[in-house]
Structure 1
Amino acid sequence: MLKKLMYLLIILVIISAGIYIFLQLYATNDINEGDEQQSKPVETNHEDIATAESFVSRIVTLATEGKIIDGPFQAGKSQMKEINDSFGEPIITDQTVLGDYTTYKNDVTVGYQKSLAFDLRSYNETLQQIHLSDIRNVQGEPDETRYYKDENVDQIILAYNINSNYQLKWILPNPTEQQPDPVVHHISVYTEPPISEEVLTLLQNMSLEEKIGQMIFAGVDGANYDQNAENLIHQYHVGGIIFNKKNFLSVDQTNQYVNKIKSENAAKPLPIFLGVDQEGGRVAKLPGALTPIPPSLQIGNVGSSEFSYAIGSLLGKEVKSFGFNMNFAPVLDINSNPNNPVIGDRSFGNTANIVSKLGIETMKGIQSEDVIAVIKHFPGHGDTATDSHLELPRVNKTIEELEELELVPFRQAIQEGADVVMIAHILLPQVDAENPSSMSKAIISDLLRNQLQYDGVVITDDMTMEAITDHYDIGAASVQSVKAGSDIIMVAHDYNKVTSAFRAIQKAVENGEISEERINDSVVRIIQLKEKYQLKDDQIESVDVNALNQQIQSVLNKHYY
């Protein structure tokens, strides 16, 4: 009996030991599985980057297209609406001199002007894989090194010019002895914004009166500088002055008059436009015994691009020699109506092809002398039977019909670098039944700006022409023209009409009819044009008419006679 009890006890001990060992093994196995789960890397949404240097190369490749790693958007091309639609509501928007900067929840900041993104910044945490040494190993030394420090950060900025369009900037903590090879804080892919900081600074320092003055191109009385001219420059701050036939008596008198205007304007923040109609043919305003340049129609009959360019260059030389910087030429109207009393031989011909080909070459010739060419008279004055100097012409054409003929030279000239477009005083009832083209949003903003994608300066034809004054108060007409999209209102005659236009626009801004932002848009274009041509109010020396005539004769002998 005792022996049986001992066997039973041994069996119980063995079973108990087995159970204990089993439980220990199970517990150990359970703990190890938990450790394995803990040690597994946390999955992220970031792409698998093989090495830091390959990541740098990828960022550089994206930057060549104006992109960052956080989306398909491009600096200089993407609009803020599409960015907002993709990234959602911004966290914060900061205003700077250069533009607004908006930050989103996905660690992206976008700098923009007029809804166009020009600076894409990524703060993506994957960038912290990249060290200063990685950047230099891939890209070498930067084109420019900058530093930024405030109470919160001390940073080094490595700027690389990726191509002619884009700059890639790496922003990192400034290296120290403790941290000689810092990691990236953020990157920026940057393109030049539509408006430079210099232009914006000029704009911010201008009074409302100075801004409106820049939008006025005024005529002056008589052949000498007088009190009215003094007021136009110093009280009304006009941005440009046009000389008409009555302002020219002689070469020397013109030199003195032009130099006086320039000296009076020299202390102003912006140089002054000085314009004249010097088309050749019957529209040639400059004084002196200049050898006549043939009218455009005769140049069109020759049909030579080289000749047309040379004529443009001669016109530019003439204008520049007398101290002017803007020529209201060439005419891009197609002479499609033989009864037209105002265009006629001022046109290069009666087909879109010849007017486009030769008119654009003439434009380029004028520009080659650092003189601003003004193409005219948009949207086309060739198919009129009345003179807008005397009454308001009507052209009963649709946009589609204009596209087939009248608009062709203007569209091509815009694509070839037209700086200024002059708007005609024409009523096109099938486009805008109420307003002449110089006062029509449908013509200036919808057709010229949006459809033809023109972003240069728009100037009206002379608002003292009877096409306007017989039907409208000049102040009201000027306000309507600005609202329609004009940048510059030309008032070529009558000091009182100039001041009326100025005051009407000023009042419209003050009472909210025109926003100051709308004024700023025009003034920016004007400043940019003056900067593009590096205009200065420098004095001119006496004009060598004989030298000009020799150059004219040489061109005519080669191409015309």
Structure 2
Amino acid sequence: MTLEEKIGQMLLVGIDGTSLDANAKRMITKDKVGGIILYADNITNLQGMVKLINKLKESNKVNSVPLFISVDQEGGKVSRMPEEFVSIPSNKVVGGTKNIRLAQTMGKLLGRELAATGYNMNFAPVMDVNSNPKNPIIGDRAFGSTAAAVSGMGLAEMKGLRSEGVIPVIKHFPGHGDTSVDSHLELPVVNKNAEQLAKLEWLPFQAAIQAQAEAVMVAHILFPKIDPDKPASLSKVIIGKQLRGEMGYQGVVITDDLTMGAIIKHFDLAAAAIDTIKAGSDILLVAHGYDNEKLVYNQILQSVKNGSISESRIDESVYRILSLKSKYDLSDKPLPVPDLTSLNQDIREWRKQIYK
């Protein structure tokens, strides 16, 4: 692979609108980005969603490496599936059953939804412990308020997703449950040290790592007692020393969206991109703005050419990315619009067990 192709693999990007526009096509064909994330704004109905995903894959035929087609499909309020699907309840509701089997079925049903429509990566399960009642961003997205509850249910969901050939991405390391600010808007600050995190927030992530978690998303949260200068997503201490080092994590590290307020209000985006790579991240999520993707791409390319990042460092990340794509045997093959009758019936039957 050329250097440019390798850098492309490290970018996972968002697109505008519900169809393949010129900028989306350019990011895929020219910058050879490694993946796409779709949000609610990209999705109208089942037919439109499948058509868009097929177009994205078709435009990638100039590249030998298939795309990650990713989404946040958690259930509850964070659901991207169109209205043709019977809804999946929140993690809090499922966690309230204390039934590991039902959580695994949840993962399987989510995986079936995604695999049937062309996705291959899901930013789930949420492994945050809901330890702060005033948290504006996690709340019912968490399985519970104890590490044991979150670990058990989260690992079960992860297993269910895997069983359908969908890559699970555990999030939001090192733990978003004790924040009081929404990182989409501002930079949360949590005044806990490593010893405190080790007793609660880290436990579900450590359990997932022991269960061979393939990918982990790192949050934009500042832990001044651990790293006073950089949020977790940009921190050599948190990603390099703690996650990679102390926890021995060898899988793919993905940043939360670098265009969120937590980053762009406090840091230069181009500099943040370089910081996160130096910290140990493999995939940079740039979810909004073609200009932002181009800025990040060009900055990484320039940094390798001027020697501030070695090409061998890029190779480390690309090897992890390609290994993950190979493990899940990703393909850019188009899919027909699925018949949801059986899947929706299975979701209804599962929901009866959740709400009984």
TM-score (norm 1): 0.63
CA distance in structure 2 between the aligned counterparts of 1:293 and 1:246, rounded to whole angstroms: 19
Match of 1:532 among 327, 331, 345: 327
Aligned to 2:336: 541
The structure with the largest helix share of the pair is 2
Match of 1:285 among 61, 74, 80: 80
- More relative contact order in 1 or in 2 (CA 8 Å, sep 6+)? 2
CA distance in structure 1 between the aligned counterparts of 2:73 and 2:339, rounded to whole angstroms: 17
Aligned to 2:247: 452
Aligned to 1:227: 22
Aligned to 2:220: 425
Aligned to 1:486: 281
Deviation at 1:234, TM superposition (A): 1.0
Match of 1:415 among 183, 201, 210: 210
Is residue 392 of structure 1 aligned with residue 216 of structure 2?
A: no
Deviations 1:50-72 (Å, cap 9, x if unpaired)? xxxxxxxxxxxxxxxxxxxxxxx
Aligned to 2:306: 511
Match of 1:339 among 124, 134, 158: 134
Q: Which amino acid is the alignment partner of residue 271 of structure 1?
A: P
CA distance in structure 2 between the aligned counterparts of 1:492 and 1:485, rounded to whole angstroms: 20
CA distance in structure 2 between the aligned counterparts of 1:397 and 1:329, rounded to whole angstroms: 25
Deviation at 1:269, TM superposition (A): 1.6
Q: Which amino acid is the alignment partner of residue 446 of structure 1?
A: K
Match of 2:173 among 346, 354, 378: 378
Q: Secondary structure at the match of 1:312?
A: helix
Aligned to 1:301: 96
**Coordinate RMSD, CA, aligned:** 0.8
Aligned to 1:251: 46
Deviation at 1:249, TM superposition (A): 1.1
Aligned to 2:148: 353
What is the number of equivalent residue pairs in this alignment? 356
CA distance in structure 2 between the aligned counterparts of 1:316 and 1:452, rounded to whole angstroms: 28
Aligned to 2:31: 236
Deviation at 1:558, TM superposition (A): 3.3
Asked if structure 2 preserves the Cα contact closer than 8 Å seen for 1:216 and 1:488, the reply is yes
Asked if structure 1 preserves the Cα contact closer than 8 Å seen for 2:45 and 2:84, the reply is no
Q: Which amino acid is the alignment partner of residue 390 of structure 1?
A: L
Runs of 5+ consecutive residues of structure 2 not aligned to the other structure: none
Q: Which amino acid is the alignment partner of residue 300 of structure 1?
A: G
Q: Secondary structure at the match of 2:74?
A: strand
1:53-68 → structure 2 map (5 Å cutoff): none
Aligned to 1:208: 3
CA distance in structure 2 between the aligned counterparts of 1:302 and 1:293, rounded to whole angstroms: 14
Deviation at 1:226, TM superposition (A): 1.1
CA distance in structure 2 between the aligned counterparts of 1:270 and 1:530, rounded to whole angstroms: 8
Asked if structure 2 preserves the Cα contact closer than 8 Å seen for 1:288 and 1:545, the reply is no
Deviating 4+ runs (over 3 angstroms): none
Match of 1:471 among 266, 271, 279: 266
CA distance in structure 2 between the aligned counterparts of 1:494 and 1:545, rounded to whole angstroms: 33
1:43-62 → structure 2 map (5 Å cutoff): none
Which one is further off, 227-236 or 544-553? Answer: 544-553
Identity score, percent: 49
Deviation at 1:559, TM superposition (A): 4.1
CA distance in structure 2 between the aligned counterparts of 1:544 and 1:437, rounded to whole angstroms: 42
CA distance in structure 2 between the aligned counterparts of 1:323 and 1:302, rounded to whole angstroms: 30
Aligned to 1:499: 294
- Of structures 1 and 2, the larger Rg is shown by 1
CA distance in structure 1 between the aligned counterparts of 2:153 and 2:73, rounded to whole angstroms: 16
Asked if structure 1 preserves the Cα contact closer than 8 Å seen for 2:94 and 2:354, the reply is no
CA distance in structure 2 between the aligned counterparts of 1:488 and 1:558, rounded to whole angstroms: 38
Q: Secondary structure at the match of 1:556?
A: helix
CA distance in structure 1 between the aligned counterparts of 2:213 and 2:55, rounded to whole angstroms: 30
Q: Which amino acid is the alignment partner of residue 309 of structure 1?
A: Q
Asked if structure 2 preserves the Cα contact closer than 8 Å seen for 1:425 and 1:436, the reply is yes
CA distance in structure 2 between the aligned counterparts of 1:559 and 1:242, rounded to whole angstroms: 29
CA distance in structure 1 between the aligned counterparts of 2:96 and 2:280, rounded to whole angstroms: 36
Q: Which amino acid is the alignment partner of residue 553 of structure 1?
A: R
Aligned to 1:274: 69
TM-score (norm 2): 0.99
Deviation at 1:547, TM superposition (A): 2.6
